[in-house]
């Protein structure tokens, strides 16, 4: 009888202490502002978008893996949130607004900037690096070609880079191609050059949602994707198309969904913090 009671006690202890099964990978979607493209002409090599305007989402992603956290793309600077009416880029093509600052959003999911281990941008254009300097202790995962370009002594303003926005990043891990961030295939950086010299995308194997790719600016709209249109301001338009072809093959092979980061519909379809995708 004593033995039975002991067994029962042990059983209930084990049952009580069994840890709740936490998902091995979580994707948090944060808001990095809006970009109103007042004249979308430049988003194709032809004039098919001349006179049209686009409203772009601009998400920031936090990827939580059991071995660490990665923040992917850093949105527009949260300082814009304090500017009534937002701001215009000097060429007056883009109107930028930020509603919620990144710092407050991080608090919503209980994270301080120093809890982030890795920082990576799809590429270093200003709308993807705005809040990077908060993460100066994190390791910057960047294609070597992008790093060399982004940190050149002089960059023409039309290149779209804002070197001050990532100047505090000093722990740099230069990549040359694909990179498996946590070594188990769940979070992989995939080179997709063309939009910029070292543009990259992020492949995630989410346990419930399934495989998904965050495509940075490989595509800007579903129409761009369907018609294989590349912005005329891309670093290399032909290389962009090659990357598009490789990406489409990768998506088919892996049965992966694609999130076009600037596409409002894709953005709106994702759960918002504190909810997450797993
Ligand atoms: Zn870009």
**How close is the Cα of 217 to the center of ligand 1, in Å?**
5
Q: How far is the CA of 14 from the centre of ligand 1 (A)?
A: 52
Alpha carbons 180 and 141: distance in angstroms, whole number? 11
How far apart are the CA of 220 and the centre of ligand 1, in A? 9
- Quick one: which of 75, 83, 82 has its CA closest to 56? 75
Confirm if 202 and 189 have CB atoms less than 8 A apart: yes
* CA 123 to centroid of ligand 1, rounded, Å: 7
CA 255 – ligand 1 centroid, Å? 26
pLDDT of residue 155: 86
Ligand 1 centroid to 125 CA: how many Å?
5
Q: What is the pLDDT at residue 157?
A: 77
Question: Ligand 1 mean position to 225 CA, how many Å?
Answer: 15
Distance (Å) from CA 253 to ligand 1 centroid = 26
What is 23-269's CATH number?
3.60.15.10
CA distances for 238 relative to 74, 90, 159, 197, 241, angstroms: 27, 28, 18, 12, 5
Separation of CA 151 and ligand 1 centre (Å): 16
Buried b (16+ CB within 10 A) or exposed e, 140-174: bbbbebbbebbbeeeeeeebbbbbebbeebeeeee
Provide the residue count of the chain. Answer: 278
pLDDT tens digits in sequence order for the chain, 278 residues long: 455 555 455 555 454 455 556 668 999 999 999 999 999 999 999 999 999 999 999 999 999 999 999 999 999 999 999 999 999 998 899 999 999 999 999 999 999 999 999 999 999 999 999 999 999 999 999 999 999 999 998 888 788 999 999 999 999 999 999 999 999 999 999 999 999 999 999 999 999 999 999 999 999 999 999 999 999 999 999 999 999 999 999 999 999 999 999 999 999 999 999 999 99
Strand segments (E) across 66-144:
68-72, 87-88, 94-97, 118-120, 139-143
pLDDT of residue 156: 82
């Amino acid at each position: 009888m004593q033995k039975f009671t002991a067994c029962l006690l042990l059983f209930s202890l084990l049952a009580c202490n069994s840890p709740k099964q936490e998902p091995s990978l979580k994707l948090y979607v944060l808001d990095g502002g809006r970009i109103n493209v007042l004249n979308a002409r430049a988003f194709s090599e032809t004039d098919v978008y001349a006179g049209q305007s686009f409203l772009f989402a601009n998400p920031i992603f936090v990827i939580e893996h059991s071995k660490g956290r990665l923040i992917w793309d850093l949105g527009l600077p949260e300082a814009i949130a304090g500017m009534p009416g937002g701001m215009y880029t000097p060429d007056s093509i883009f109107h930028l607004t930020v509603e919620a600052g990144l710092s407050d959003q991080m608090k919503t999911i209980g994270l301080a900037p120093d809890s982030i281990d890795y920082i990576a941008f799809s590429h270093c254009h200003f709308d993807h690096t705005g809040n990077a300097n908060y993460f100066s202790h994190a390791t910057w995962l960047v294609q070597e070609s992008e790093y060399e370009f982004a940190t050149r002594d002089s960059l023409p303003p039309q290149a779209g880079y804002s070197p001050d926005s990532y100047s505090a990043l000093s722990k740099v891990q230069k990549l040359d191609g694909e990179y498996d961030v946590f070594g188990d295939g769940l979070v992989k950086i995939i080179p997709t050059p063309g939009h910029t010299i070292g543009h990259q995308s992020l492949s995630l194997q989410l346990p419930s949602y399934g495989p998904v790719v965050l495509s940075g600016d490989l595509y800007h709209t579903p129409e761009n994707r369907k018609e294989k249109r590349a912005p005329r301001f891309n670093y290399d338009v032909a290389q962009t198309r090659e990357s598009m072809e490789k990406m489409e093959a990768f998506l088919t092979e892996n049965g992966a969904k694609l999130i076009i980061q600037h596409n409002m519909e894709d953005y709106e379809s994702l759960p918002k913090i504190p909810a997450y995708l797993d």
